[in-house]
Amino acid sequence: MTTFSPANLRNAPPQVAMMMMLGGYRVARAVWGAASIDLAAHLADGPRPIAELAKLTDTDSDALYRLMRALASVGVFVEEENGYFALAEVGECLSATAPDSALATVAAFGDPWHWQLWGDLTESVRTGAPAFDRRYGCDFFTYCQTHPELARRVNQSKTSVFGASEAAILDAYDFSGLTRLVEVGYLGGYGSLLAGILRRYPAAKGVLYDLPVVVEGAADHLAALGLGERLTAVAGDCLAQVMEGGDAYLLKGVLHNWDDERVLQCLGHCREAMDDGARLLVCEMPMPPGNDLFVGKFIDIESLLLTPGGRERTAEEWRGLIEAAGFRVSQVVPTAAPIAVIEALPA
């Protein structure tokens, strides 16, 4: 009854199911705690006893035991009979070096400023305004531009969790024939979608067009992608101007951070930069109608708290905005992930 799953929630009495849902913050904070002290790094070579782990992570051994025992009960660690702890499969993703690492994401979700932001949710529902602005005196993106360390962490967390949806986009959309792709970002990660496309389509070149605060920190990340001069970065603010010369302009998870006015502003700059033969590729999560569980519904709450008017939109709402900016939506390509590729051509 205490395992958190839809089946168990359905079968449990409402009070029990509600207690489990309500208690989710404990699991979340415990996972973040384990990420913060980088426990997985110390378990990479095999199980260790608590006393040793406490020494390595500079923690209190009883407190650490209680944390790891709790996380072993939800499948992150394995508590062995001899008192040693090991990584479970899920826990391996807490390692910075795992191919499917989620360390940066888990750390970002639980970052003190972010934890506090969610603590202000009621305030945002009361006012409809982002709680972030009230606490920090400016909007999130403005703040990031003067706080490069935060920008770096946000960007890194985006890069690390985009893997699954990017693979889905690559499988679903045919990028062949495109030779010069421009990924238009706004604190949008370090060009991993672009890199995925270039790997699959060897004739293509790509430019990451993002804010100076991103581009200045991007050199190492881009170099690590191993694409040499095929992948470059250009600094710019897509709310002011978009670079010319691409035959495809990718906007992935950018527009949902803004209100309609800014969405139109950005799309307008894309339109100005584009030749008539170029195409626009907007990758977003169209919101389904009805009561079904959908990840975008909670990301939408994050937008409410954090962004200047950002929101998840239905496919129809996206179409309306894109067409208002001078495009014609030619197709909406669903993917295996909740994300879709909305393809549009200059009208």
Which of positions 48-107 make contact with other proteins (CB under 8 A)? Answer: 58-60, 62-64, 66-67, 69-70, 72-76, 78-81, 89-94, 100-102, 105-106
Binding segment (CB under 8 A) for other proteins, from list 7-15, 43-51, 176-184, 235-243? 7-15
Which residues within the stretch 164-193 sit at the binding site for other proteins (CB under 8 A)?
Answer: 164-165
Binding segment (CB under 8 A) for other proteins, from list 110-118, 210-218, 224-232, 260-268? 110-118
Catalytic residue list contains 256: yes
Query: For residues 21 and 223, which CB has a smaller minimum distance to other proteins in the complex?
Result: 21
Q: Which of 11, 18, 134, 259 binds other proteins (CB under 8 A)?
A: 18
Which residues within the stretch 124-143 sit at the binding site for other proteins (CB under 8 A)?
Answer: 124-129
CB of 148 to other proteins, least distance (A): 19
What's CA 161's distance to the chain center, in Å? Answer: 6
CB of 103 to other proteins, least distance (A): 9
Applying CB under 8 A, does 334 fall inside the site for other proteins? no
Query: For residues 206 and 296, which CB has a smaller minimum distance to other proteins in the complex?
Result: 296
Distances (CA, A) of 29 to 26, 107, 243: 5, 10, 42
**CA-wise closest residue to 186 among 222, 140, 247, 137:** 140
Which residues within the stretch 250-309 sit at the binding site for other proteins (CB under 8 A)?
Answer: 253, 257, 285, 289-295, 297-304, 306-307
CB of 205 to other proteins, least distance (A): 25
CB of 71 to other proteins, least distance (A): 9
Whole-number Å distance between alpha carbons of 184 and 251: 5
Q: Give the per-residue SS3 of the chain.
A: CCCCCHHHHHHCCHHHHHHHHHCHHHHHHHHHHHHHCCHHHHHCCCCEEHHHHHHHHCCCHHHHHHHHHHHHHCCCEEECCCCEEEECHHHHCCCCCCCCCCHHHHHHHHCHHHHHHHHCHHHHHHHCCCHHHHHHCCCHHHHHHHCHHHHHHHHHHHHHHCHHHHHHHHHHCCCCCCCEEEEECCCCCCCHHHHHHHHHCCCCEEEEEECHHHHCCCHHHHHHCCCHHHEEEEECCCCCCCCCCCCEEEEECCHHHECHHHHHHHHHHHHHHCCCCCEEEEEECCCCCCCCCCHHHHHHHHHHHHCCECCCCCHHHHHHHHHHCCEEEEEEEECCCCCEEEEEEEC
Alpha-carbon Rg of the chain, whole angstroms? Answer: 22
Q: Which of 56, 96, 121, 315 binds other proteins (CB under 8 A)?
A: 121
Query: For residues 114 and 271, which CB has a smaller minimum distance to other proteins in the complex?
Result: 114
Query: For residues 137 and 289, which CB has a smaller minimum distance to other proteins in the complex?
Result: 289
Query: For residues 205 and 311, which CB has a smaller minimum distance to other proteins in the complex?
Result: 311
CB of 45 to other proteins, least distance (A): 19
CB of 207 to other proteins, least distance (A): 23
Q: Which of 109, 141, 209, 258 binds other proteins (CB under 8 A)?
A: 109
* Total of chain residues touching other proteins, rule CB under 8 A: 107
Residues in contact with other proteins, shown as a per-residue x/- string from 213 to 252 under the rule CB under 8 A = ----------------------------------------
Which burial class, exposed, middle or buried, applies to 121 when counting CB atoms under 10 A from its CB (0-12, 13-18, 19+)?
middle
Query: For residues 181 and 299, which CB has a smaller minimum distance to other proteins in the complex?
Result: 299
Q: Which residues are catalytic?
A: 256
